[in-house]
A and B are shown apart, each in its own frame.
Chain A
Amino acid sequence: MSPEYLLARAKNEELQDKGECGGAVSSIFKYLLDNEIVEGVLTLTRGIDIYDGIPSLIEDSEDIIETCGSLHCAPTMFGDLISKYLKDMKLAVAVKPCDAMAIKELEKRNQLDRDKLYEIGLNCGGTVMPITARKMIDLFYEVDPDDVVKEEIDKGKFIIELKDGTEKAVEIDELEEKGYGRRGSCQRCDLMIPRNADVACGNWGAEPGWTFIEINTEKGKDLVDAARNEGYLDIKTPSEKSLTIREKIENVMIKLAQKFQDKYLEEIYPSSEDWNKYWDRCIKCYACRDVCPVCYCKECALDKEFYVDSEQIPPDPLTFQGVRLSHMSFSCINCGQCQDVCPMEIPLALIYQRMQKKYKDKTGFIAGVNEELPPLYSPEKD
């Protein structure tokens, strides 16, 4: 369908006040729960502090208020939580673009039922690893990370708000140059607006107190219409200026991501000697495989005896990483989880994203976005 743009905010004053950008997303969730259209909402809630986002299943609309506000220091992944534990449930899920990509790949592999899901997309400029965030707040902001009550990413800055209400901001460029800031995969990610979800919500181009929503599917359109008709949302049409600003922000972010792709996937990409050193570290813990939201086979080739030559570590990189790479790289959505969880700090996401990118550049196939399956699964493969 052709895109449709609108500005929305919660009618409920508490959600409007507590929610991000007028609380439109929270209000949509409340509408879905109140009217029993979904049995649960899968989203993040704040754990011990603002650096601790915990996937939570909310089933009572009274609890939606607890999920208000964004958490950028929460590099979580919802796709496999749904396919492993919640696939029989009618669910609404708040998705970053990479969550929506994982869901798309799982859907293609019949690992979840897309009809049971409402995907409420959240525009994403990237996430920061929690401990990295705490270290950089200490170093660059000279602030005790425990004194921060809120953080946001806006206009190229990572902004923190302190207990006493003061704000401090540092350019993300500066943080990332020194090895802090967003996760590597987020720096190289060029999908900021989740057009692969039912709706994509964010503050880019929005007036203060409003959420900019791009409608991506018929389901998304019906949802927003119904939430308005039932008195959950105020809706208005964005101005031309709104649209232009949003487009401009998106383009700047995409250009920046491409710059990072060129840098990390080509210019300073590890040499084969470097990779040999990385593979020497592998303890064959399978964390990369097990966390991958797309990888789903119950019987994994890596467990097959004919591939496993011995229990020695490091494993032969050809029969371990090589097999995994050949199975997964075309479908890699660059969520970076494999690298996040690697106890041995092997920069796995680089090699996977690089392979997917090469394939994308040649064929146009974008994992997590396109409807068809990647070549290993495709009936059209030669």
Chain B
Amino acid sequence: MKVHDKMKVVHSICPQCSVGCGINLINIDNRLVGTYPYKRHPINEGKNCKKGRDCIELVFEENRPKNPLVNKNGTFSDYSWEEALDLFVSKIKSYTPQDIGIIGSGNSTNEDLEILSKFADALGVEKKGFYAENFPAFNIETATLDDVQSSNFILIVGDVIKESPLIGRRIILARENGAEVVSADSADKTFTGLNSDKYIKIRSIGEFLDNIGPEVHNKLKDSATIIFNKLDLKEEFEKIQNIAEDSGSKILPVLKQCNTRGAMRFLPALNQEEISRLINDVKFLYVVGDNPALYAEESFKNLDFLVTQSSSINETVLLSDLVFPASCWVEKTGTFTNTTGDMQKISKTISAPAEVLEDQRIISKIAEKIGIELGDKK
């Protein structure tokens, strides 16, 4: 059916965090001008947080690379794709796999990550991964949002209601149904604490987990969920898992990015220290969809050659020798796996600028030029 270019309302998935809310986008002549509640979506029923409703601001018109760019002494010049790919290939071929690093992102689609991971394998690159804060990769069953809402007891670590309001909503609804909510964090008070029955100020997550008293532990036996959105150390994930197993409660780790959980299937989940070490240990770094200069800039100084593939001009792009212009989430089709493990489809809603390509296509072009096989895309 033909719908007027003057206004189309289309379904999408919000890319701002790991909850996976539905959001309708208003498209007028290939530009996103606003959002509209997507009430049919089972996760959020038309409710979105401010950040979610602002998601269209992630589609940059100006502040994005629109052509491949090459940095010569601090000045970027436009290159053709042919020239840029040739440069990439000649550079990468001059390093051994041990000197090459590849960093992906929890903001990329599963399909883009799968092909990136195959690319790394084909090259024999082992220094690869994506930034997952202190969360380790996991492949266990976690609580659904309906589980949260029907819990009798909820233990929260972190300011989850404030930082993930559409999980917060399920906690609020559980509480309206009579659930008891206990939250813990390091601040004197938190928004989540204000909306809990009890707030515990803790010194560290590890210490708190080691000293959960019988009072809380007994409540965890009764249709309970443990929700946490931060860890100080990767090992704490297992501690929480053990507490949940002992008590029969469910757990819901709230990850950072819209596809952090999906990315765990394709690339090692690294924390800040591990990513910094990776960058330090390589000469050639290929960054796809992330901005590691934000959290690991110190480690960049040993690099010979930095290639960044991005849909916006960010700190890492500015440090790069070569930049590939990539499409953003509304300019491509694929899937995101949200923090509860649901895989959701996103569809191409607007066209990217002419020379901007999807991550998958860029990686395939590189592979083709190098002469490596990535195998059939699943």
Residues of A within 8 A of B (CB): 40, 45, 47-49, 51-52, 54-60, 63, 66, 73-75, 81, 84-86, 89, 129-131, 134, 280-281, 283-287, 290-291, 313-314, 337, 340-345
Q: Once the chains bind, are B169 and A344 in contact (CB under 8 Å)?
A: yes
Known contacts A47-B40, A285-B50, A342-B47; 18 further A-B pairs (Cβ under 8 A): A40-B4, A52-B40, A66-B1, A75-B39, A81-B26, A85-B26, A129-B39, A131-B45, A134-B42, A283-B161, A283-B165, A285-B49, A286-B50, A287-B49, A287-B50, A337-B37, A341-B37, A345-B176
Chain A residues within 8 Å of B45, by CB: 129-131, 340
C-beta contact mask, B342-367 vs A, less than 8 Å → 1, else 0? 00000000000000000000000000
Interface-centre pick from A73, A285, A342 (highest chain B CB count, 10 A): A285
Contact segment of B6-14, B296-304, B306-314: B6-14
Q: Least Cβ distance of A140 to chain B in Å? A: 18
Which one of A59, A284, A340 lies within 8 Å of B4 (CB-CB)?
A59
Chain B interface residue number, banded: 35 or more
Cα distance A81–B162 when bound, in Å?
Answer: 30
Interface-centre pick from B1, B33, B161 (highest chain A CB count, 10 A): B1
Q: Once the chains bind, are A131 and B42 in contact (CB under 8 Å)?
A: yes
Is B205 in contact with chain A by the CB < 8 A criterion?
no
Chain B residues within 8 Å of A48, by CB: 11, 40
Is B172 in contact with chain A by the CB < 8 A criterion?
yes
Is B34 in contact with chain A by the CB < 8 A criterion?
yes
Is B195 in contact with chain A by the CB < 8 A criterion?
yes
Chain B residues within 8 Å of A286, by CB: 50
Which one of B24, B47, B194 lies within 8 Å of A314 (CB-CB)?
B194
Q: Once the chains bind, are B1 and A63 in contact (CB under 8 Å)?
A: yes
Cα distance A287–B6 when bound, in Å?
Answer: 24
Chain B residues within 8 Å of A314, by CB: 191, 194
Cα distance A52–B36 when bound, in Å?
Answer: 13
Residues of B within 8 A of A (CB): 1-4, 6-9, 11, 24, 26, 28, 33-34, 36-37, 39-42, 44-50, 53, 161-162, 165-166, 168-169, 172-173, 176, 191, 194-195
Q: Once the chains bind, are A56 and B40 in contact (CB under 8 Å)?
A: no
Q: Once the chains bind, are B165 and A84 in contact (CB under 8 Å)?
A: no
Chain B residues within 8 Å of A287, by CB: 47-50, 53
Q: Once the chains bind, are B9 and A56 in contact (CB under 8 Å)?
A: yes
- 30 pairs, CB–CB < 8 Å, chain A vs chain B: A40-B6, A54-B9, A55-B9, A55-B36, A56-B8, A57-B3, A63-B1, A63-B2, A66-B1, A73-B40, A75-B39, A81-B26, A81-B36, A84-B34, A85-B33, A131-B39, A283-B168, A285-B50, A285-B53, A287-B48, A313-B162, A314-B191, A337-B37, A340-B39, A341-B37, A341-B47, A343-B47, A343-B48, A345-B172, A345-B173
Q: Once the chains bind, are A343 and B9 in contact (CB under 8 Å)?
A: no
Q: Can you name the residue of chain B whose Cβ is closest to the Cβ of A340?
A: B46
Chain B residues within 8 Å of A51, by CB: 40
